[in-house]
Amino acid sequence: MVGNWKMHGRISDNATLLTEVAAGASALQKGVRVGVCVPCPYLAQSQALLSGSVVQWGIQDVSAHSGGAFTGEVAAEMAADFGVTYAIVGHSERRAYHRESPELVASKAQRAIEAGLTPIVCVGETLEERQAGTTEQIIGTQLDAVLAILTEEQAAGIVVAYEPVWAIGTGKTARPGQAQDVHAFLRHKLLEKGASVASVPLLYGGSVKPENAEELFGQKDIDGGLIGGASLKSKDFLAICRAAQTVTH
C-alpha cells in the first residue's frame, strides 16, 4: 500500500502524518507492505522519522539521466542517498503535464533500478481512450516500453500501478470488475516477459477510499493500492491499509 502525497505537505505538518502512519502500520500483519512517496524536499524528514519503522519511503519521479547539466532534475542515485525504496515513474500527471513518453518513462524506470530503487510504473488510460475502446492498446504500449528495455530479472523487481486517469482525484473509482479486467491484462503481459515477472505486485490507484478499498483489493489480480488524496490523512490511509489485510488471494 503506497501513499502518493503529490505536491502536498509542509515540514511542520508532515511529522504528525509520518509518525501516525508509522505507528498505525506497526500494528498491521507482516504481509502488508506500506510506503509513502513524498515531495523531494521531505525525503530527509521521512528518512529521519521512518527509519526503523515498517514504513518505506519513496520519491514521486526521477530523472532519466544519472547526472549532469539537467537543472531541476533529481537523479535516482540522489534519492538513494536518503534511503529511498520506491520511485514512482510515469504517473499520469507527469505523462500529461510534462509530456513524458513511454520511452522516457522506461528510461526513468531503468535509472531507478540501477540506483537500487524499486520503480512503481504507472499506466492508465484517459476517459476518451476508454470510450474509444483503446484501453488495452494504451496501457499495453506504456508497459511494453518498460519491459522492452529491462532484463527478465530487472522486470521481476518492479511494481506496476494501474491508474485510470478518469478515476484520479475525481471521486469516480473504477468498478472492481473493471479494474480487475485491466489487471488481468497486465498480468498476462508480464507473464509474456517471463514466469518470474508475472508475480510483480499490481497496484490499483484512483479514488481509493476506506469505503471501497476492501472490494477493490478483493479482486484476484489487485495486490494493493496507490493512494493519493486519502494518503494525506493518517486515519483514512491506515483504514485502507487495514482493508488490505482482511483480503486473502
User: Which residue's CB is nearer to ligand 13P, number 93 or number 221?
Assistant: 93
Nearest distance from residue 68's CB to ligand 13P, in Å?
28
Please indicate whether residue 65 is annotated as part of the active site: no
Helix axes 234-245, 11-25, angle to 10 degrees: 20
Which of these is catalytic: 93, 100, 163, 183? 163
Chain-centre distance for alpha carbon 238: 17
Decide: is 228 part of the binding site for ligand 13P (CB under 6 A).
yes
Please indicate whether residue 163 is annotated as part of the active site: yes
Per DSSP, the three-state class of 19 is helix
Residue 165 has what DSSP assignment? G
Residue 167 has what DSSP assignment? G
- From residue 224, how far is each of 75, 93, 130, 204, 243 by CA, in Å? 27, 20, 23, 6, 10
From candidates 1, 4, 108, 190, binder to ligand 13P by CB under 6 A: 4
Question: Which element (helix H / strand E) includes 27?
Answer: none
Of 63-71, 138-146, 179-187, 220-228, which segment contacts ligand 13P by CB under 6 A? 220-228
Q: How many CB atoms lie within 10 A of CB 206?
A: 26
Contact flags string 51-90 toward ligand 13P, x per CB under 6 A: ----------------------------------------
From candidates 28, 62, 208, 243, binder to ligand 13P by CB under 6 A: 208
From candidates 169, 175, 188, 195, binder to ligand 13P by CB under 6 A: 169
* 218 in Cβ contact with 246 (< 8 Å): no
Contact flags string 188-207 toward ligand 13P, x per CB under 6 A: -----------------xxx
Q: What angle do CA 62, 106, 227 make, to 5 degrees?
A: 60
Q: Which residues bind ligand 13P (CB under 6 A)?
A: 4, 91, 163, 168-169, 205-208, 226-230
